[in-house]
Structure 1
């Protein structure tokens, strides 16, 4: 049944996101092409057009982020807590499946939004290189890319990959926190939207405070270890080399734990405190 929920969810949101991504890529092409043509002319009208396209590109880029967040909120609140909720909660599915479908969909579209933004930056970079024949320079660019990859050892790329994983888990946790905040706000009969917004910022503050507290505790533990062992130099060298990974692992664990907690809180409130009246 989860597959059917996901199929319905992606169908309901594909048109919104698809049009948004096409607009972003189209504006990036127009903006990049205008800059490329602007390099060979001093026309005031052309300069004005470039400025307007710059504003349009910035607006669409910001709009992509805003629409992504707003769609995540709207699809959860409107589909599960609004009028559509009367139908959704009669389906032979569990609350966990309903929330899980929204979480998976929101995560996938968030990743797609990041990818679309990165692709638009790449299009701009290519089109702005007006004086470079890309086909002639392609072998040189590939050789430079190989040298850049060879310059760093495997530990560096493992660190980068792990950092990407941390960012991904934090994003999923933030989406789960949005859903939990929506459910908390739903408990208030008056001004539920305001209550939900305040709940989200409060939850994020608590999560950040606990994360900071645990990091301080980890530093105290390292200091105590130096004192007990005595050979602080060799230990400090080892821990310093692993310090970033340790901090990232701690952040990953906290984000994952809070993500599970926010998800569980959302499911519990939906199961026990849902009020469709």
Structure 2
């Protein structure tokens, strides 16, 4: 039944996200194309066009973030706590399956939003280098890449990859926290949306405070990476000195624990405190 829930969820959200990604890629093409045409000219019209396209592209990037977050909230609240909830909660599925389907869908679309943003940056880079002879530049680029990989040791790349895992777990935990905040806000008859927003910030503050209390905040391992990037000769010393992997593993565990807690709180409130009247 979880597969059917996921199929319905992706089908219901595909149009929103698909249109947003097309707008993002179109904005990157227009912005990059305007910069390419403007290079080598002193036209005030092109200068104005480039400025306008940069504003449009920035607005679309910000809009992508906002729409992604708002869709996560709206799909959960309207589908499970609004009028659609009367139908959803009569299906032969458990509360755990309902929340899981929302969490998986939101996580996938959040990753897609990140990939779409990266792709748009890549399009911009290609268009801005359109006047360069890329065939002549490829050997130099390949040589630079090989030099980078040679100078950075495996410990650094492992730490960088692990940082991505930690970021992913934190993203999933944040989505679960949004759902928990929606459920907490649902308990208030007056101004549930405001209560949910305040609950989210309180929850995030509590999580951050506990992380600082245990000295496992992101600053430790991020400082290691930034120090390594800033001084290539001290990569190994910086990572080893700050105990990156150890602190990152603890950070990962805490982020995962909070994610499980927010998920469990959401399911418990939905099972025992749900009121659709």
CA distance in 1, matches of 2:105, 2:173: 14
1:152-201 alpha-carbon deviations (Å, 9 max, x no partner)? 11111110011000000000000000000000000000000000000000
- Does residue 203 (structure 1) correspond to residue 203 (structure 2)? The answer is yes
Q: Aligned residue for 2:246?
A: 246
CA distance in 2, matches of 1:6, 1:239: 41
Q: CA shift at 1:241, angstroms?
A: 3.6
Q: Aligned residue for 1:7?
A: 7
SS of equivalent to 1:215: coil
CA distance in 2, matches of 1:118, 1:276: 40
Q: Aligned residue for 2:148?
A: 148
Q: CA shift at 1:47, angstroms?
A: 1.0
Q: Aligned residue for 2:138?
A: 138
- TM-score with structure 1 setting the length: 0.90
Moved over 6 A (4+): none
CA distance in 2, matches of 1:125, 1:239: 31
Q: Aligned residue for 2:35?
A: 35
CA distance in 2, matches of 1:199, 1:72: 16
CA distance in 2, matches of 1:2, 1:239: 42
Which has the larger displacement, 126-135 or 83-92?
126-135
SS of equivalent to 2:276: coil
1:20-77 alpha-carbon deviations (Å, 9 max, x no partner)? 1111011101101111111121111111111110000000000000000000000000
CA distance in 1, matches of 2:238, 2:181: 41
CA distance in 1, matches of 2:12, 2:143: 44
Q: CA shift at 1:134, angstroms?
A: 1.6
CA distance in 1, matches of 2:213, 2:113: 32
Q: Aligned residue for 1:101?
A: 101
- TM-score with structure 2 setting the length: 0.90
CA distance in 2, matches of 1:124, 1:238: 34
Q: Number of matched residues? A: 258
In the alignment, structure 2 segments of 5+ residues that lack a partner are 217-236
Larger radius of gyration, structure 1 or 2? 1
Q: CA shift at 1:147, angstroms?
A: 2.2
Q: Aligned residue for 2:81?
A: 81
